[in-house]
């Protein structure tokens, strides 16, 4: 046996308590259940209580993953955290998760690849374990999208049933400006624990094909709140919606339906497998229609694809572990199963990772 492989030892998820259905959203946004279901497949999503951050959710998912893996906190010798909504501008959420978990000081790496963050994290874990730098790695994907939602406190009151409503027309109009975006997202976290595996039985992370292309960064981004601005945030920027993500949904859709199947084929081919040998495909959950089109392009039967966007919406870095964990619970990722985890997100970043459970 040469290098050790990164073998999945356990997984866990954290889902916040506030379940928001499409009808509830239509109280604060000019939208309706049918539009959201037909265009995206989403039925509900979950929001955190005010004050709950990405690292809080990340730590909760991590505790569950460690318990599932039967791994004590002091065994963890590296943390990799993917989030696009860190608790603060800096530091990142990795060390905050280490602190929440009460772990000894270990290297903690933050990744900024948005919806593809967890896929990049899997490749990082693979490299850390194969190289011998780490033997037990905690990989976390956590995002609190509600922090990016430009709602007034009155909107939140109506949403949380603390006030009867209806919303004032100005608030309703403002929220509706972003309706194509706001209905898609939810908060969640997912975590996986990987251990160095010395047995040469083909199990573990097998490899990845990842890409980044800044030429399309404009189709999905937050224009304000960065070093291009001095100061990085101003009251005018907030008033002008500069802190709200900008999304050209159609362009993202078109890229996702072509690149996700292409890169899934590529990673299988690169490691000597066929689509027939694939047991499970877990894709980023941005839109059920994207995933249905990708499944069709790959000619995969429904039992080999698992989606849960219907329940959680798009939770960015958390979609891959959240979806994988539920697929595993449903018996679709048993020991020995060949799984591809494929994503595309802002940056653009996209890619696919192959692992044998
Ligand atoms: N409710 C009701 N109507 C709406 C809503 C809404 N929530 N949002 C938009 N509409 C209306 C539009 O105003 C438009 O009306 P018009 O025809 O009268 O002008 C009509 O619906 C069509 O709007 P489109 O934006 O063209 O709708 P589309 O079919 O493209 O669907 C969607 C939009 C669901 C966003 C789709 O483009 C998509 O899913 N794209 C990919 C999104 C994605 O993957 N994002 C990645 C996010 S990852 C990240 O953020 C890190």
How far CA 267 is from CA of 208, 229, 307, in Å, comes to: 6, 39, 20
Q: Are 356 and 339 in contact (CB under 8 A)?
A: yes
Atom of ligand 1 nearest to the CA of 287: 39
Ligand 1 centre distance from Cα of residue 95 (Å): 36
5-197 and 204-356 share one CATH topology? Answer: yes
Burial readout 8-31 (b: 16 or more C-beta within 10 A, e: otherwise): bbbbbbbbbebebebebbbbbbeb
Low-confidence ranges of the chain (pLDDT < 50): none
Ligand 1 pocket list (CB less than 6 A): 31, 35-36, 39-40, 114-115, 179-180, 183, 220, 245, 247, 249-250, 252-253, 256, 286-287, 314, 316, 345-346
> Which residue carries 């993500």 as its tokens?
245
Nearest CA to ligand 1 atom 44: 286
How far CA 317 is from CA of 16, 191, 207, 303, 323, in Å, comes to: 15, 10, 19, 24, 11
Name residue 11's beta-bridge partners: 192
Q: Terminus-to-terminus CA distance in the chain, angstroms? A: 19
Domain boundaries, the chain: 5-197, 204-356
Structure tokens at 285: 């959950």
How far CA 295 is from CA of 111, 254, 269, 292, 329, in Å, comes to: 28, 14, 17, 5, 21
Helix ranges, 214-287 (H): 235-239, 249-270
Residues contacting residue 164 through CB under 8 Å, at least 6 positions apart: 158
Nearest CA to ligand 1 atom 9: 180
CB atoms within 10 A of CB 174: 17
Backbone angles phi, psi at 109, to 5 degrees: -110, 135
Ligand 1 centre distance from Cα of residue 250 (Å): 7
Indicate which residues carry an active-site annotation.
115, 284, 314
> Which residue carries 């084929």 as its tokens?
265
CATH architecture of the domain formed by 5-197: 3-Layer(aba) Sandwich (3.40)
Helix ranges, 196-241 (H): 235-239
Q: Which CATH class is domain 204-356?
A: alpha beta
Name residue 138's beta-bridge partners: 79, 193
Nearest CA to ligand 1 atom 38: 249
Nearest CA to ligand 1 atom 40: 249
Backbone angles phi, psi at 36, to 5 degrees: -65, -45
Ligand 1 centre distance from Cα of residue 177 (Å): 12
Return the SS3 of 355.
Answer: strand
pLDDT at 163: 83
Q: Could you give the CA distance from residue 286 to residue 79 in angstroms, rounded to a whole number?
A: 26
pLDDT at 1: 61
What is the enclosing helix (H) or strand (E) of 120? helix 117-130
Return the SS3 of 354.
Answer: strand
Pocket test for ligand 1, best of 86, 217, 218, 249 (most atoms within 8 A of CB): 249
Please tell me the pTM assigned to this model.
0.96
The burial class, CB within 10 Å (0-12 / 13-18 / 19+), for 219 is middle
Rg of the chain (C-alpha set)? 20
């Amino acid at each position: 046996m040469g290098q050790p492989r990164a073998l999945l030892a356990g997984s866990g998820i954290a889902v916040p308590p506030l379940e928001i259905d499409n009808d509830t959203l239509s109280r604060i946004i000019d939208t309706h259940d049918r539009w959201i279901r037909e265009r995206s497949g989403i039925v509900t999503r979950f929001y955190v209580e005010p004050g709950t951050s990405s690292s809080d959710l990340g730590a909760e998912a991590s505790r569950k993953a460690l318990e599932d893996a039967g791994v004590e906190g002091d065994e963890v010798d590296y943390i990799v955290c993917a989030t696009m909504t860190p608790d603060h501008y800096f530091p990142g959420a990795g060390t905050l998760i280490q602190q929440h978990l009460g772990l000894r000081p270990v290297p903690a790496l933050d990744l900024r690849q948005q919806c593809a963050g967890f896929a990049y994290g899997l490749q990082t874990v693979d490299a850390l374990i194969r190289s011998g730098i780490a033997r037990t790695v905690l990989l976390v994907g956590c995002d609190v999208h509600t922090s990016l939602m430009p709602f007034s406190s009155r909107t939140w009151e109506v949403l949380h049933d603390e006030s009867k409503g209806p919303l004032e027309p100005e608030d309703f109009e403002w929220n509706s400006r972003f309706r194509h975006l706001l209905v898609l997202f939810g908060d969640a976290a997912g975590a996986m624990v990987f251990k160095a595996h010395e047995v040469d039985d083909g199990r573990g992370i097998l490899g990845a094909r990842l890409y980044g292309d800044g030429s399309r960064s404009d189709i999905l981004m937050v224009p304000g709140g960065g070093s291009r601005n001095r100061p990085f945030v101003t009251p005018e920027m907030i008033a002008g919606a500069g802190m709200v993500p900008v999304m050209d949904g159609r362009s993202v859709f078109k890229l996702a339906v072509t690149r996700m199947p292409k890169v899934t084929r590529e990673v299988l081919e690169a490691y000597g497998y066929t689509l027939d040998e694939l047991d499970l495909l877990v894709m980023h959950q941005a839109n059920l229609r994207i995933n249905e089109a990708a499944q069709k392009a790959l000619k995969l039967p429904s039992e080999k694809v698992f989606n849960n966007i219907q329940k959680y919406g798009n939770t960015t870095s958390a979609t891959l572990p959240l979806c994988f964990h539920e697929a595993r619970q449903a018996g679709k990722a048993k020991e020995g199963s060949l799984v591809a985890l494929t994503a595309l997100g802002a940056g653009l970043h996209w890619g696919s990772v192959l692992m044998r459970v």
